[in-house]
Amino acid sequence: MQQSLFIKAAFSQPTERPPVWMMRQAGRFMKEYWEIKNKYSFLEMCKTPEIAADVTLLPVNLLGIDAAILFSDILVTAEAMGGKLSFEQGVGPRFSNPIQNQQDINALETDVKHRLQYVADAIQVIQQRLNGSIPLIGFAGAPFTVMSYLVEAGSSKDFKKTKLFIHNHPTLAHQLLQKIADVTVDYLNLQIEAGVNALQIFDSWAIALCWDDYQTFSHPYISQIIAKLNRKNIPIISFCKGSSVFAPLMAEAQPDVISVDWNADLRNIKQQLPQNIAVQGNLDPHILYADKKVIKERIHRLFDRMKDQNGFIFNLGHGIMPDIPFENVKYAVEVVKNYTF
Ligand code: CP3
């Protein structure tokens, strides 16, 4: 596995072309996903190892990507801690018992590894089926992003409640973030034990934070998590929306790879970082709605910028949207695979 394109690029070793995978590569843009989704709820899919494995393998078989990502969700840690989680069609994730005060935080449990065993089981099934062909990426949400769902009771446009919480009740916010961080360390180490080949930490909503708040309420917890992982030869990818701005701080947490949103020039970000930190990204996913010649031109433009750089994994700046045409995603993968540095 150390010889796979993805692992080599993640450890900043030279590769003949950039490896490719895409965030949300197993999802609603695929009719094969809907064939499964129409039979089960989203959480059932996550919690049944055989089904989670079936979905994880869809983009492996249909797109030919260079790395698989475990089919699960960042909110399973919050659920294991006691959050009453549901996913409703068209609404997204909801917690019916949002966190509002000290009592709510006290009620959250942290010794919850046993409740996440289904994820370890899914990883084992997936690895049996992948049979060493490509690496499997495990993941978890970053404490700030997971906290935002617990405080807002679900998704949010402006993160008003979360920001009020960190600004007016910083002590409570730190208690909550620490509890989530502790669970996340156990959870990611469980994934390593179960056999993942890489890990990604998703801080999707860091983009809502100003520099000081990112530094105080997100960065220390990601640093702590990365420092406590039994890493062995497993690269750690740190993703956030907002990485165009926060990349220098993200690098201090010592991940192997920083996954960059679409706002920045990837080459500029790469050159600001220590040599041993690779970058992943950063095509605007909206490009995948465009005509094929645009898709090809934009991927080539990105690759021409990154040509002389080791440590580059092709991905999007954020996840694939559900209504992006499957054919365009497949075409983008082909364009990447036909490119040589
Ligand atoms: O990338 C992959 O293919 C692996 C699976 C994966 C999912 N969620 C599946 C999913 C991963 C890595 C995630 C991470 C995740 N979940 C993040 C971080 C990444 C990001 O996109 O920012 C976040 C913020 C969540 C929380 C979450 N889960 C939301 C906001 C939603 C609703 C999305 C929407 O647009 O309605 C989910 C549900 C979810 N997670 C789906 C999938 C395939 C859709 C479920 C469905 O079919 O209804």
The answer to whether residue 76 is domain-embedded is: yes
- pLDDT reported for residue 213: 98
Please give the share of the chain, as a percent, with pLDDT higher than 90: 97
Give the model confidence (pLDDT) of 19-39 as tens digits: 999 999 999 999 999 999 999
The answer to whether residue 323 is domain-embedded is: no
Report whether 265 contacts 305 (CB < 8 A).
yes
- pLDDT reported for residue 267: 98
Q: No. of H helices and E strands in the chain?
A: 16, 9
- pLDDT reported for residue 227: 98
Q: Which amino acid is at 297?
A: E
Q: How confident is the model at residue 266 (pLDDT cuts 50, 70, 90)?
A: very high
User: Which atom belonging to ligand 1 lies closest to the Cα atom of 89?
Assistant: 48
Rounded to an integer, what distance in angstroms lies between the CA atom of residue 320 and that of residue 328?
A: 11
CA of 314 to the centre of ligand 1 (A): 20
- pLDDT reported for residue 200: 98
The answer to whether residue 321 is domain-embedded is: no
The answer to whether residue 229 is domain-embedded is: yes
The answer to whether residue 178 is domain-embedded is: yes
Structurally, the chain folds into a number of domains equal to 1
The domain in which residue 112 lies consists of: 41-62+68-196+198-233
The answer to whether residue 79 is domain-embedded is: yes
- Residue ranges lining ligand 1, Cβ < 6 Å: 23-28, 37, 42, 69, 71, 73-75, 87, 92-93, 139, 155, 202, 204, 319
CB proximity list for 291: less than 8 A, separation 6 or greater? none
CA of 14 to the centre of ligand 1 (A): 32
Give the model confidence (pLDDT) of 188-201 as tens digits: 999 999 999 999 99
* The pLDDT of residue 7 is above 80: yes
- Residue-by-residue DSSP string for 219-256: HHHHHHHHHTS--TT--EEEEETTHHHHHHHHHHT--S
The answer to whether residue 77 is domain-embedded is: yes
136-141 vs 68-69, strand pairing mode: parallel
Q: How confident is the model at residue 232 (pLDDT cuts 50, 70, 90)?
A: confident
CATH of the domain at 110: 3.20.20.210
Of all protein residues, the one whose alpha carbon is nearest to atom 45 of ligand 1 is: 42
- pLDDT reported for residue 88: 87
CB proximity list for 265: less than 8 A, separation 6 or greater? 305
Please give the share of the chain, as a percent, with pLDDT higher than 70: 100
- pLDDT reported for residue 89: 83
Q: How confident is the model at residue 90 (pLDDT cuts 50, 70, 90)?
A: confident
The answer to whether residue 86 is domain-embedded is: yes
The rounded mean pLDDT for the chain is: 97
What is the distance of C-alpha 58 from the center of its chain?
A: 18
By residue count, the chain amounts to 341
User: Which atom belonging to ligand 1 lies closest to the Cα atom of 22?
Assistant: 1
User: Crossing angle of helices 243-252/219-227, nearest 10°?
Assistant: 40
* The pLDDT of residue 103 is above 80: yes
User: Crossing angle of helices 160-168/143-152, nearest 10°?
Assistant: 110
Rounded to an integer, what distance in angstroms lies between the CA atom of residue 202 and that of residue 222?
A: 10
Reading the block at residue 276, the tokens are 């041993």
Of all protein residues, the one whose alpha carbon is nearest to atom 2 of ligand 1 is: 24
* The pLDDT of residue 176 is above 80: yes
- pLDDT reported for residue 340: 82
Q: How confident is the model at residue 206 (pLDDT cuts 50, 70, 90)?
A: very high
- pLDDT reported for residue 197: 98
CA of 273 to the centre of ligand 1 (A): 29
